[in-house]
């Protein structure tokens, strides 16, 4: 057989991010079905006993599946690019989404850099998302499992990354993955449970984490918007987000957070009877992070202001200075720091951080 023919028979390599969870573990099986030679990588982002134990679990799974496995120790970069900005944003009264930031500035960059070093073109993760090629662009598209769909967290990925990515779980429901994975991994290795909300926040206790991270933060006043009457006080371990109702410690409610003034340590609230003032009719942005081709405006879209929110109908247009998103009635108010993500024609066309 000629040398060229032998070369053509070689399987294409793909770099897969392996976390030790059921999604990335089952992705090994799916990628092999598609004809890829899977190379695994574990992103060791944190210096902790839990992270060490997780690495050992990932290694056991990789060994069982006979997947060559790399370990990237990147705790310094992760802390600098993700944890530090997250804490700083909260200190300024914002409500950031660390997963969106991580995907944009850290996780996928680390994966692409390693793939380049290993001379591997394709990269895969266990995210629930689909990709849609249109013209010269590749777009994110919502996964078939609406509850697990993760395109909201991925919307800031650039074309250079999207064109190299594969999401093998996009057409599967989570319940299917759990069942099918039983044929791939033995009970002793089969991961149980879901990953925590924010990977670097111990026990998902955000208030304690922020209190320990923001040392010089002071408590302040809770003020009724409109009358400016002081209704109560909060201490330095309480953190708030726009629209929050629980945990305010106020009588005569329910009360909702309407504004956060981090500079003056004041939180403004409105009563149930005035809750309609929280429902904005539109959002304004100085710029949009377009995923590919810029659409002709105005354009009817669907949007999300939170990851768990269902897609709502809206119109995106432009005036002299801003891009303007008209909002559906009855929407909870977005908090500065959260993201608005736009869907049109079955694909993610762009988005932006609220307040940008």
Bridge partners of residue 15, in order along the sequence: 39, 123
CA neighbor of 348 nearest in space, from 104, 118, 140, 38? 140
Among 39, 5, 220, residue whose Cα is nearest residue 115? 39
**Active site annotation includes 102:** yes
Which residue in the list 39, 61, 102, 343 is annotated as catalytic? Answer: 102
Where are the alpha helices (H) located in 197-287, listed in sequence order?
206-213
Contact of 19 with 58, CB cutoff 8 Å: yes
Question: Distance between CA atoms of 155 and 131, rounded to whole angstroms?
Answer: 12
Q: Are 353 and 337 in contact (CB under 8 A)?
A: yes
Residue 17: enclosing H or E segment and its boundaries? strand 13-17
> Active site residue: 99, 165, 199, 327, which one?
199
Residue labelled with tokens 């932006």: 352
Any idea which residues carry the catalytic annotation?
102, 199
């Amino acid at each position: 057989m000629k040398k060229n023919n032998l070369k053509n028979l070689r399987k294409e390599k793909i770099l897969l991010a392996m976390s030790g969870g059921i999604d990335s573990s089952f992705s090994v099986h799916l990628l092999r079905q598609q004809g890829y030679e899977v190379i695994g990588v574990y992103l060791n982002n944190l210096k902790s006993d839990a992270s060490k134990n997780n690495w050992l679990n990932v290694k056991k799974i990789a060994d069982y599946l006979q997947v060559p496995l790399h370990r990237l120790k990147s705790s310094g970069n992760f802390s600098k690019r993700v944890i530090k900005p997250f804490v700083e944003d909260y200190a300024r009264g914002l409500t950031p989404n660390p997963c969106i930031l991580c995907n944009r500035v850290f996780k996928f960059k680390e994966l692409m850099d390693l793939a380049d070093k290993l001379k591997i073109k394709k990269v895969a993760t266990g995210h629930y998302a689909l990709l849609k090629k249109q013209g010269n662009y590749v777009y994110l598209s919502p996964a078939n499992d609406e509850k697990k769909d993760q395109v909201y967290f991925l919307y800031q990925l650039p074309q250079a990354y999207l064109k190299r990515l594969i999401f093998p779980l996009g057409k599967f429901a989570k319940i299917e993955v759990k069942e099918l994975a039983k044929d791939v991994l033995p009970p002793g290795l089969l991961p149980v449970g879901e990953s925590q909300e924010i990977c670097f926040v111990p026990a998902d206790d955000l208030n304690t984490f922020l209190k320990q991270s923001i040392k010089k933060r002071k408590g302040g006043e809770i003020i009724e918007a409109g009358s400016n009457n002081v209704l109560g006080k909060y201490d330095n371990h309480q953190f708030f987000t726009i629209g929050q109702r629980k945990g305010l410690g106020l009588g005569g409610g329910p009360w909702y957070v309407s504004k956060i003034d981090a500079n003056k340590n004041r939180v403004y609230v409105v009563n149930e009877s005035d809750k309609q003032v929280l429902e904005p009719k539109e959002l304004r942005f100085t710029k949009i992070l377009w995923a590919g081709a810029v659409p002709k405006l105005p354009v009817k879209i669907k949007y999300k202001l939170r990851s768990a929110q269902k897609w709502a109908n809206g119109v995106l247009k432009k005036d002299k200075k801003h891009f303007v998103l008209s909002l559906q009635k009855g929407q909870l108010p977005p908090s500065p720091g959260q993201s608005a993500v736009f869907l049109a024609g079955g694909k993610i066309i762009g988005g932006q951080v609220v307040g940008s």
